[in-house]
Amino acid sequence: MTTDTPFGHMRRKDREMTERADIDAVLEAGNVLYLSLAEGGQPFVVPVFYAYDGQALFFHSARAGTKIKMLKQNPSVCFCVTLDHGIIEAESPCDFEASHRTVIGFGQAAFVEDETAKRDALQRIVGRFTARKFQYPAANLKTTAVVRIDIASMTGKRHGF
């Protein structure tokens, strides 16, 4: 995994998070991942609950729908997690800024088919919101898609901290 993106280096080096621990902290603290997909030149973004294991991201979905159709056509994705939104006021309207910590990354989506791996990913996702442990019956697993995003690159940026 690299910190370079398909679009080059970050312009504002003074705001770049260069420590992997800082990037991981944003991914571990966030609740919603904004997933960006594209098919035939048409972009699509969708928010999903997710889990992060230090190497990959996981989310679940119904087995049909726009995001599943698009992922089957093009597994290349971009994602964003952002925290600590706020406004930094200024005297001039053009000098207002946003305080935030943000991670943007790129990767390849893969459908998780192994039942044990699906159960583990689902518990990891749900485990971000509760300490309870759940059973995932085989019938439910058949109607649930679990997607792993193998992260190729990601960058982090912060401002106002």
89-134 pLDDT tens trace: 778 888 787 767 899 999 999 999 999 999 999 999 999 999 999 8
* Straight-line distance from the first to the last Cα atom of the chain, in angstroms, rounded to the nearest whole number: 26
Q: Which of 147, 51, 50, 60 lies closest to 108 in space, CA to CA?
A: 147
Give, in words, the CATH class of 13-159. Answer: mainly beta
- Provide Rg for the chain, Cα atoms: 17
Its pTM stands at 0.87
How do the domains of the chain map onto residue ranges?
13-159
How does DSSP classify residue 43? E
- Residue that has been written with the tokens 């946003």 in this structure: 98
Query: How many residues in the chain?
Result: 161
- Long-range contacts (CB closer than 8 Å, 24 or more residues apart) made by 129-133: 129/49
Cα(33)–Cα(23) distance, integer angstroms: 14
pLDDT at residue 1 tops 60: no
43-61 pLDDT tens trace: 999 999 999 999 999 999 9
